[in-house]
Amino acid sequence: MKAESDERRRGAQPAAPVPATGDVTSGEDTERELGSRAPAFIKARRTLHLSWQVGVFVVGLAVVGTGVVMLPLPGPGWVVIFGGMAIWATEFVWAQLVLRWTKRKVTEAAQRALDPRVRRRNIILTTIGLVIVAALVGVYVWKYGIVMPWRIPR
C-alpha cells in the first residue's frame, strides 16, 4: 500500500492548489493540496505515520458509524456521516476526493434550487401536496371521527 507521503519522499511533485478568484458563484474555490495533513514530525517516521493513519481511520469510522445509526434514529445522521468523512479527509486522498465531489454536487443543487422557475414549481407542487393531504385528512375525520388513543377519567 503506497502512502501519499511515500511518493513525496521519492521526489514526486505535489499538486499545486488552485488559486482563489474571490468569486464564489463561479464554482472555483480554493482547493487544498491532496494528501495527508499530519504534522511533519509524524510524516517523517513511517511507523508513526502509519499509526496516525490507523488512528484517524478508527476515529472516522466511529463517527461515520454513529451517523449511520442516527439515520433511522433521531439525530443529524447525514451531518455526522459527513463529519466522519471530513475526519478521514485529513489523511486519505479518496475521502478528500469524495468530499470535493459532494461539495460540488451540493453547490450545484443549491444553485438549481435558487432558480426562480424551479422555486415557483416547488412552491406550486408543495401547495398541491398540502391540499391533497388536507383533503385526505378531512375525509378520514368526516368518515371515522377523531378517537383519542387514551382515556381521560372525569
55, 50, 42: which is closest to 87 by C-alpha? 55
Cα-based distances in Å from 37 to 19, 61, 83, 114, 138: 19, 18, 16, 35, 58
Q: What is the pLDDT of residue 63?
A: 93
Query: 3-state class of 18 per DSSP?
Result: strand
Side chain identity at residue 95, one-letter code: A
Q: Is 16 helix (H, G, I), strand (E, B) or coil?
A: coil
What gap in Å lies between CA 31 and CA 119, rounded to an integer? 30
> What is the pTM for the complete model shown?
0.52
| pLDDT, tens digit, 9 for 90 and up, residues 87-128 | 998 888 888 898 899 889 989 988 888 888 888 998 999 999
Dist. CA 124–CA 150, nearest whole Å: 38
pLDDT tens per residue, range 41-84:
777 778 888 888 899 899 999 999 999 999 998 888 889 998 99
| Cα separation values, 149 from 133, 136, 141, 146, 152, Å | 22, 20, 15, 10, 10
